Amino acid sequence: MSDLPPGQFWGHRFVTYTINGVPEIAESDYRFQLTGLVRKKLEFAFSELEQLGLRTLRADFHCVTKWSIRDCEWRGIPFSALAGLSGIEDGAEYAFIHSLDGYTTVVPMENMQESLLATELNGSRISQEQGAPVRLVVPSLYGWKSAKWLAAIELVEEYRDGFWEERGYHERGDFLTEERFKNPAARFLHKKVAAPRKVQ
């Protein structure tokens, strides 16, 4: 049995949090970009991403709102594989993450090294609610850093807030040290949105 980080409890299912509803996009229309401080900018269709080779990552998932899901099996493309193809400039300190629904977040590069661009969860394609076609998984940080509906990763030198960080969430989000909020009032901001919408 996995150990729970401080302040967490075991949940039975994922809760879907969004900022603009659940976007819908066909795998055939999907494009991913790796940009910013890289020697070679990358752009892939969904099928091209999967041709890079899939890896399995087994890890517990911890939401900042205190629920955790035990022993998730993610399968996808390691960020390290993309980094090897593009070449990372020496000044890259953070990954600024862009999602299809307009969501953003920021992840320190040391946490990105073990991250995965996931296309499957527990043996099945990730659902739209869980972030299909591609979701970022950062196993060492709280779940808001594992952005759903991943569109682009931009490597940058200087920190800048993403969506929740701008609203008082912690800059890094390490669950082992309970890096939840820099502004305590931010704990009340999460909302659930279930209505699907199409992304043009």
> Which domains are present in the chain?
9-198 (3.90.420.10)
pLDDT at 199: 41
pLDDT at 189: 63
pLDDT at 197: 41
pTM of the model: 0.90
pLDDT at 8: 96
Compute mean pLDDT per 10 residues along the chain, 200 residues long, and list them.
Answer: 86 89 91 97 96 95 96 97 95 97 96 96 95 97 97 97 94 96 68 41
pLDDT at 1: 44
DSSP symbols for the chain: -PPPPTT-EE-SS---B-SS-EEE--GGG-EEEEEESBSS-EEEEHHHHHTT--EEEEEEEE-TTSEEEEEEEEEEEEHHHHHHHH-B-TT--EEEEEETTS-EEEEEHHHHTT-EEEEEETTEEPPTTTTSS-EEE-TTB-GGGS-SSEEEEEEESS----HHHHTTB-SS-BGGGT--BSSGGGGG---B---EEE--
pLDDT at 2: 64
pLDDT at 32: 97
